Each structure stands twice: as structure tokens, then as C-alpha cells.
Amino acid sequence: MATEPTEPTERTTRPPDTDDRFEEPLRGVDVDPETRCAHYDDPPDVIALRCGACATYYPCAACHDAVCDHPFEPWPRERFDEPAVLCGVCGRTITARVYLDGDDRCPGCAAAFNPGCRAHRERYFER
Ligand SMILES: [Zn+2]
Ligand SMILES: [Zn+2]
Ligand SMILES: [Zn+2]
């Protein structure tokens, strides 16, 4: 899969700025061009998740809490039909419901997502 050279640049972005490499509002710590971060940087760690309080995408909750002045809040259940996950490979957004019902692949570009993210489900999506 890794046929194109990836930019080595890792960026840390703090509010009110957002990372201009992404079309959606996104920030975090040492974020690479496919949304891997200082905390999760294995090859399949290519999703960013949206905070229920500030509606901004972050590679992980630790990124959020490092740069934000409020704790990360799970995406609220009544908004599960709105985008809450961003694929770092193609930049497409995915609704919470499609992501949670999916098979750990991007429905747009078929990039493999880390299935281990599900272990942290309650951190990111309201029960
Ligand atoms: Zn937030
Ligand atoms: Zn992180
Ligand atoms: Zn994708």
C-alpha cells in the first residue's frame, strides 16, 4: 500500500488554530499527514475522532486533553448520524453509526483502521 512517500512532518496544533492539511477542523500533538499522533502512531492508526463538546477532530483523547481547556467528551448518541470520525488517509468523514457498525475499514478508500480502537469505544462514543 505504501507506494507514495509520506511527508515526515508532524505538527502540534493548539486552539484556536486548526491543522490546515485537513479540510475539517482538526488538531493534536505531533500529528502526521494521516492523523497518527504522539500517542498512537502504528500504521493503522489513521482515524481522528470528534469531541462532543467542541466538535473538533483529534487523533485521540490524549491529544485533545493536551491542547484543550476542557476534557474530551464522547460523541453524543443523538448525533450518531452526523460525522464523528475522520479517515486520515482520504480525509472523508464517517458518521458514528457507520463507523461503529463497520468492519474497521474506511467506507471510502478501504484503508484499514486499527480494530483496537474499539476497546476505547466508551471514551469516544456515548453509550
Ligand atoms: Zn473538546
Ligand atoms: Zn494523540
Ligand atoms: Zn478513507
- At 117 the pLDDT is 84
Within a domain: 103: yes
Mean pLDDT of 52-63: 98
Q: Are 53 and 36 in contact (CB under 8 A)?
A: no
Q: What is the residue-averaged pLDDT of the chain? A: 94
Closest listed residue to residue 45, CA positions, set 82, 80, 91, 87: 87
Within a domain: 22: yes
User: Whose atoms come closest to the Cα of 48: which ligand?
Assistant: 2
Within a domain: 94: yes
pLDDT tens for residues 3-57? 666 556 999 999 999 999 999 999 999 999 999 999 999 999 999 999 999 999 9
Cα distances from 92 to residues 23, 107, 127, in angstroms, run 9, 9, 24
Whole-angstrom distance between the N-terminal and C-terminal Cα of the chain? 35
β-bridge partners, 11: 31
pLDDT at 94 over 60: yes
User: Whose atoms come closest to the Cα of 61: which ligand?
Assistant: 2
Structural domains in the chain (count): 1
> What element of type H or E holds 95?
strand 93-95
Mean pLDDT of 84-90: 98
- Ligand 3 center to residue 66 CA distance, Å? 26
- For residues 125 and 38, what is the distance between their CA atoms, to the nearest angstrom? 22
Within a domain: 1: no
- For residues 27 and 12, what is the distance between their CA atoms, to the nearest angstrom? 7
| Parent domain of 97 | 11-123
Within a domain: 2: no
Residue 119: which pLDDT band, with cuts at 50, 70 and 90? confident
- At 118 the pLDDT is 84
Task: Express as a percent the part of the chain with pLDDT over 90.
Answer: 89
- Ligand 1 center to residue 28 CA distance, Å? 11
Mean pLDDT of 53-78: 98
Within a domain: 5: no
Q: What is residue 121's three-state secondary structure?
A: helix
Within a domain: 45: yes
Residue 2: which pLDDT band, with cuts at 50, 70 and 90? low
Within a domain: 4: no
CB atoms within 10 A of CB 22: 18
